[in-house]
Amino acid sequence: MKRVITYGTFDVLHYGHINLLKRAKALGDYLIVALSTDEFNSIKHKQSFYTYEQRKLLLEACRYVDLIIPENNWEQKIDDVKKYQADVFVMGDDWKGKFDFLKDFCEVVYLPRTPDVCSTNTKAYLAKEKQAA
């Protein structure tokens, strides 16, 4: 069985996220998603629209995702790759080169992002709509 692992906040789940998960799953048989916890997002100075548990529930409904684990810190990636026996590490290409240190442990793939969609823009739009209401 070929295992794939990816990381992210997956806030305000949109079709770009689904495209990324679909393409990541196509690289193997089993997809593990390390989902950023609320505490880790706080360390990264990010505020999620949904809580960790809500984002986890959304990802659990996605047919491409086989397992969700918490992402608690930047340093856990090598341990996760080993623990979950990941063969492939996948991230969006805006991270290109940042995780090449994992090549000693698994294949590293950077996938192109879906154009014209991002969580930041979606959250800004939702905030604007909320203020207008």
82 is catalytic: no
Torsion of CA 50, 89, 72, 30, to 10 degrees: 70
Q: Where are the alpha helices (DSSP H) in the chain?
A: 15-25, 38-43, 52-60, 77-83, 119-132
44 is catalytic: yes
From 22, 25, 46, 83, active-site residue: 46
From 44, 82, 83, 128, active-site residue: 44
Residue 8, Ramachandran bin (φ over 0: left; ψ between -120 and 50: alpha; else beta): left
Give catalytic residue positions: 44, 46
